[in-house]
Amino acid sequence: MREVRVEGLAKAYGELPVLADVSLRAGPGQFVSIIGPSGCGKSTIFNVLAGLVVPDAGRVLVDGAPADGTTFGYMPQKDLLFPWRTILDNTTLGLEVAGMRRRAAREKARPLFAAFGLAGFEGAHPYELSGGMRQRAALLRTVVQDRDVLLLDEPFGALDSLTRTGMQEWLEGVRARFGWTVLLITHDIREAVFLSDRVVVLGPRPATVRHEVTVDLPRPREVGMLTWPRFAEVEAELLAALREPGAPAPGRVAPAS
């Protein structure tokens, strides 16, 4: 388990300032969600963490040392499965790109299929799987690379409500089993409350941290908690933070940043 600290992050694209002095923390094994208006720079934070973008100021620390991007497994919004590869060979792609032989990569990925609800579908192709199964395959492809911190960028945003709820329950269970440190971008406030230990609220661009809420609900989380008074209180606090003066009124699900 790793601790991640983002300290004083700033980034502009030309004349467009996107991030301004963003600082946040995810403790070892914690699940931290980041919410905020569309276009405020949430995905830019992930791109910096993954080493894809160089910040103008600030730093990223993993266990107190400067991060180089190799600690993070990044799962984007779309599953990006190759239609001509089987599910097993899709999940091994990152390992193969890193130089592992295909046979060894398959041997490493195959034991994870049961935990990810994909046992029996190793030889299937993406078009044969449901949306939720495709997302599980994409997450398996991410975690099989043995990265200690997962960056999940709106992973369930394209799913229907029922499937999304099922995926949230599944992620809650599998995260506890593997003990990952997770950072999640979402526009779904209820999803953030259900999954997270803490939720960080960003303001409009150029983004700063506007508010932070500790979600003091017990684990494991269950769908029945959605009706708990405390769940509603946390959800209302986050909604109020998003609606502070200067922030656009958020929807439960909005386009990705």
Residue range 168-220, pLDDT digits in tens: 888 888 888 888 899 999 999 999 999 999 999 999 989 999 999 999 999 98
Residue range 82-99, pLDDT digits in tens: 999 999 999 999 899 889
* Average pLDDT over every residue of 27-36: 94
* Average pLDDT over every residue of 110-136: 92
Averaged pLDDT of the chain: 89
Q: Give me the torsion for CA of 46, 50, 56, 57, rounded to 10°.
A: 80
Alpha-carbon span 234 to 242, nearest angstrom: 13
Give residue 31's identity as a one-letter amino acid code: F
Would you place residue 255 in the very low, low, confident or very high pLDDT band (cuts 50, 70, 90)?
A: very low
Bridge partner residues of 151 (DSSP): 74, 183
pLDDT score, position 245? 59
**Residue 241, Cα to own-chain centre: how many angstroms?**
21
**Residue 78, Cα to own-chain centre: how many angstroms?**
12
Question: Parallel, antiparallel, or unpaired: how do β-strands 31-35 and 181-185 relate?
Answer: parallel
Residue of 26, 94, 33 whose CA lies nearest to 235 = 33
pLDDT score, position 69? 72
Which of residues 161 and 203 earns the better pLDDT score?
203
pTM of the model: 0.87
